[in-house]
Structure 1
Amino acid sequence: MSVEITCGKCGEKIKDMKMLKSLKDVLSPTSGKCPFCGQKLSTSEFSLDVEEK
């Protein structure tokens, strides 16, 4: 299973993971902002889209 974290504002892929990690661990290296558009990312406000590949 692969997990893809994308920015809700610009749609750019922030992280592609093979295993689930805590959202805090994923957002920590980018200081909680999208590295492409600067949108503030929240650990409490997100959506989950599941897609079989």
Structure 2
Amino acid sequence: MSVEVACGRCGEKITIMRMIKPVKDVLKPYSGRCPSCGQQLSSTEFTLDVSEA
């Protein structure tokens, strides 16, 4: 199972994780902003879309 983290504004894929880790750890390398559009990303406000691969 993999988890895709994407920007809610532009849909840019931030990362694809094979193992679950805290959202704040995923956002840290990007200083909490989408690398594509600059949208501020929140570790507390997000949605989870699950699909079978």
Query: TM-score band, normalised by the shorter chain?
Result: over 0.9
Seq. identity, %: 64
TM-score by length of 2: 0.97
Aligned to 1:23: 23
Q: How far apart are the structure 2 equivalents of 1:2 and 1:44?
A: 20
Aligned length: 53
Aligned to 1:2: 2
5+ long unaligned stretches in structure 2: none
5+ long unaligned stretches in structure 1: none
Q: How far apart are the structure 2 equivalents of 1:24 and 1:8?
A: 16
Q: Secondary structure at the match of 1:16?
A: strand
Q: How far apart are the structure 1 equivalents of 2:42 and 2:23?
A: 9
Q: How far apart are the structure 1 equivalents of 2:51 and 2:11?
A: 16
